[in-house]
Amino acid sequence: QSALTQPASVSGSPGQSITISCTGTSTDVGAYDFVSWYQQHPGKAPKLMIYAVSDRPSGVSNRFSGSKSGNTASLTISGLQAEDEADYYCSSYTSSTTVLFGGGTKLTVL
Amino acid sequence: QVHLQQWGAGLLKTSETLSLTCAVYIGSFSGYYWSWIRQPPGKGLEWLGKINHSGSVNYNPSLKGRVTISVDTSKNQFSLKLNSVTAADTAVYYCARLSGPGTYYFDYWGQGSRVTVSS
């Protein structure tokens, strides 16, 4: 099974909005609303930011939002802050009852 | 608040077996899946497999039968074994709770265990 496809890097200035895409297939992202997003700072474990495509866990800023269209899911971060600079990974359940991650996107806040 | 604490050998030689254990503190052990995920240096996350409290498992097919995940419900622990390791298995290994059927997201993670395979 191939990893979900994410851009290697994105960047934005403080206050701006950015969107990270996550493209899969009709057997994973397109098949279920089981897409989640994780933020990872260097040397730290990943942190859940979005689950079930667009739901936010308690304590996660509402600047983070998720959506999905067809086989592509997206994570949008609005009002960029310096602390948002991190790696972001998407994940999806698959029809093979396995879990796939995206290759990761490095977000740089300029 | 659920807490996952993991441990295991950090330095292995080629062809040896990697062995890690993750203990779950506070919270229910049943009703969830428990997973292992790894991250090679400078690379992305790779899901290795999942197990539930009754021992039902699913593995990443890319590991070609080298991986075994087991559970000890009496201790609220689950374990990973990966045999015939090579340098490509060098990574930080994480244990994580995978929310139950119908949701499928990793909400709690262990601290990570750095495993290095050398010849």
pLDDT digit string (tens) for chain B, length 119 residues:
899 999 999 999 999 999 999 999 977 888 899 999 999 999 999 999 999 999 999 999 999 889 999 999 999 999 999 999 999 999 999 999 998 677 899 999 999 999 999 98
Show which residues on chain A lie within 8 Å of chain B, measured between beta carbons. Answer: 1, 3, 32, 34, 36, 38, 45-48, 51-52, 57, 89, 91, 93, 96-104
Interchain contact, B47 vs A101, CB within 8 Å: yes
Which residue reads 């690379």 in tokens?
B43
B103 Ramachandran zone, left/alpha/beta (phi>0; psi -120 to 50): alpha
pLDDT reported for residue B27: 77
How many other CB atoms are found less than 10 A from the CB of residue A32?
A: 17
B46-67 b/e with 16+ CB inside 10 Å = b? bbbbbbbbeeebbbbeeeeebb
Cα–Cα nearest to B93, from B6, B3, B2, B4: B6
Residues 6+ positions from B90 with CB-CB distance below 8 Å:
B40, B41, B115, B116, B117
Tens-place pLDDT, residues A14-61: 999 999 999 999 999 999 999 999 999 999 999 999 999 999 999 999
Chain A residues touching B45 at Cβ < 8 A: 38, 46, 89, 91, 101, 104
Return the number of CB contacts < 8 Å for A and B.
63
Give percent of chain A with pLDDT exceeding 70. Answer: 100
pLDDT reported for residue B1: 83
pLDDT reported for residue B101: 72
